[in-house]
A and B are shown apart, each in its own frame.
Chain A
Amino acid sequence: MIWVLALGVFATVTAGVYLTLSRDLLRCVIGISLIGAAANLVVFGAGRIGTALPPVIPPGADVLDAAVNPLPQALVLTAIVIGFALTCFSLVLVLALKSRTGIADSEALRLAEPAPGPDGKPAPETVDDRAGGAERA
Chain B
Amino acid sequence: MAAVLVATPLLVPLGTALVTLLAAEQPRLQRAVSLAGVFVLLGCTLALLAQVELHGTARVAFGGWEAPFGIEFAVDRLGASMALITALMGAATLVFQLSDADPAPDSPTLLPLVHALLAGVGGAFVTADLFNLYVWFEVMLIAALGLLAHGAAARQLDATLKYFVLNALGTLLLLMAIAWVYGMTGHLNYGALEAAGQALDPLRLAPFVVALALAFLIKAGAFPVYAWLPASYHTLPAPLAALFAALLTKVGVYAVLRLLGDVFTQSPAILFEALGWVAVGTMLLGVLGAAWHWDMRRILAFHIISQIGYMLLGIALASREGTVGTVFYIVHHIIVKANLFLVAAIVFRLTGSYDLRRVGGLYKLRPWLGVLFLVPALSLVGIPPLSGFWAKFVVVRETLLQGHYVWAAAALLVGFLTLYSMMKIWFEAFWKKHPESGWALPADARLGPAYAATIALALLTVAIGLAPEPLAQFAQQAADAMAAGGGRP
Residue numbers of A with Cβ under 8 A of B are 20, 25, 28-29, 32, 35-36, 38-40, 42-43, 45-48, 69, 72, 75, 78-79, 82, 85-86, 89-90, 93-94, 96-97, 100-101, 109-113, 121-122, 124-125, 128-129, 131-133, 135-137
Contacts and interface: CB of A to CB of B under 8 A. Distances in A.
Contacts of B358: 124-125
Interface of B: 102-105, 131, 134-135, 138, 141-142, 145, 149, 151-162, 164-165, 168-169, 172, 175-176, 178-180, 182-183, 186, 230-232, 234-235, 237, 292-295, 298, 353-355, 357-358
Given A42-B176, A46-B180, A85-B142, A112 B237 contact: no
Given A39-B175, A128-B153, A32 B168 contact: yes
B154 A122 contact: no
A72 B185 CA distance: 13
Contacts of B357: 124
Contacts of A94: 161
Most chain B CB inside 10 Å of its own CB: which residue of A110, A113, A122, A135: A113
B292 A128 contact: no
B447 to A, nearest CB: 15
Nearest to A32: B168
Nearest to A87: B168
Contact of A86 (B141, B152, B153, B180): B141
Contacts of B180: 42, 46
A130 to B, nearest CB: 9
A102 to B, nearest CB: 10
Contacts of A109: 158, 161-162
B165 A32 contact: yes
Nearest to B230: A113
Ordered nearest first, which 8 A-B pairs have the shortest CB separation? A132-B153, A46-B183, A111-B155, A111-B158, A43-B179, A46-B179, A112-B159, A112-B158
A39 B172 CA distance: 6
Given A96-B157, A109-B158, A111-B154, 20 more contacts: A35-B169, A35-B172, A36-B172, A46-B179, A75-B179, A79-B175, A86-B141, A90-B168, A100-B157, A111-B155, A111-B157, A112-B235, A122-B298, A124-B294, A124-B358, A128-B155, A131-B153, A132-B153, A132-B154, A135-B105
Give the secondary structure class of A's interface. Answer: helix
B154 A121 contact: no
Nearest to A130: B353
A86 B154 contact: no
A69 B187 CA distance: 12
B151 A97 contact: no
B168 A132 contact: no
Nearest to A85: B142
B169 A101 contact: no
A78 B355 CA distance: 44
A6 to B, nearest CB: 12
B172 to A, nearest CB: 5
Nearest to A121: B294
B486 to A, nearest CB: 24
A42 B179 contact: yes
Contact of A128 (B151, B154, B182): B154
Contacts of B104: 136
B412 to A, nearest CB: 27
B241 to A, nearest CB: 12
Contacts of A46: 179-180, 182-183
B183 A93 contact: no
Contacts of B161: 25, 90, 93-94, 97, 109
Contacts of A89: 142, 145, 164
B353 A125 contact: yes
Given A75-B131, A112-B231, A122-B293, A97 B158 contact: yes
A1 B149 CA distance: 43
B172 A32 contact: yes
B172 A43 contact: no
B301 to A, nearest CB: 11
Contacts of B292: 122
A110 B237 CA distance: 19
A18 to B, nearest CB: 14
Contact of B157 (A32, A97, A137): A97
Given A112-B155, A112-B234, A72 B179 contact: yes
Most chain A CB inside 10 Å of its own CB: which residue of B153, B164, B354, B358: B153
6 contacts: A25-B161, A79-B134, A86-B142, A101-B154, A111-B158, A128-B155
B200 to A, nearest CB: 15
Contacts of B295: 122, 125
Given A39-B172, A112-B232, A135 B153 contact: yes
A61 to B, nearest CB: 16
A9 B401 CA distance: 46
